[in-house]
Structure 1
């Protein structure tokens, strides 16, 4: 069999792989509100910056389930109610690791704050709105929190 016949046979496979694999990853971030009105942030191990809890939506998982799972994994808290959509953030530059689309939600949370995955999260802390370290947040979480605080629903 000639090389050109084999390479032509691989073209559809390569095209299919590019279509399947070269796509943005979908994730969620959560603005977790405690009953006393404080907002919970995590400190990431990789950058040591504050961030909203969140992560990638797993295969077969809906956004609400992913948000609840990520909140518990990263903060120890339980999501009791989703308040609202804050925004959908899709800029290719929003995450330096890969192109991701983030659906940001605000949610009510209860429980005891603790880290379950020290390889990913080195701290969890609740902040009063006026104490939020807005200029020290990772990714585009500063914008997400500002949009939340302004009551906006954003498509960016």
Structure 2
């Protein structure tokens, strides 16, 4: 199922669903950031996804990282909250969602890097190479906030 992301686009379809989601900035010992190239839109993104009714938000981030990358992680902090109503995601099945995303920081504690059905490539990227990758604005914003080493999480 393909998806199209819109941002501040008057031609974007109207949302018909709100999804609570979590993502994680996972770093390795060299300070590189784990990204996945998404199968549904061919853009690079942080691992993450929707929360199940039986999950906590940190638990969602841990589960999604495992499902999408094969790595077991431990949550270490909070990058911020991302709830911009201008960001709309449309799927080919007719779902048009707004997302309420909480972005965490995390470190690897186990597992093995493995591509899932949701991605075509996984890589740990040095921060100075992030701008070379095709990525949606909302992902770039989360990475920017992480790299700023903010004293307090972004609230937006």
TM-score (norm 1): 0.77
What residue number does 2:123 align with?
125
Query: Does the aligned pair in 1 maintain the 2:62–2:75 contact within 8 Å?
Result: no
> Could you say if the C-alpha distance between residues 134 and 141 of structure 1 is closer, same or farther in structure 2, counting changes exceeding 3 Å?
farther
Equivalent of 2:51, from 32, 50, 57? 57
What residue number does 1:108 align with?
107
Q: Number of residue pairs matched?
A: 132
What residue number does 1:99 align with?
98
Cα deviation, residue 35, structure 1: 2.5
TM-score (norm 2): 0.77
Structure 1 unaligned regions, length at least 5: 1-21
Q: Which runs of 4+ in 1 moved over 3 A?
A: none
Structure 2 unaligned regions, length at least 5: 1-15, 91-96
Relative contact order: is structure 1 or structure 2 higher (C-alpha 8 Å, sep ≥ 6)?
2
Query: Does the aligned pair in 1 maintain the 2:36–2:47 contact within 8 Å?
Result: yes
Cα deviation, residue 134, structure 1: 6.3
Establish whether residue 69 from structure 1 lines up as the match of residue 69 from structure 2: no
The 2-side partners of 1:102 and 1:139 are apart by 14
Establish whether residue 85 from structure 1 lines up as the match of residue 56 from structure 2: no
Q: Higher strand proportion, which one?
A: 2
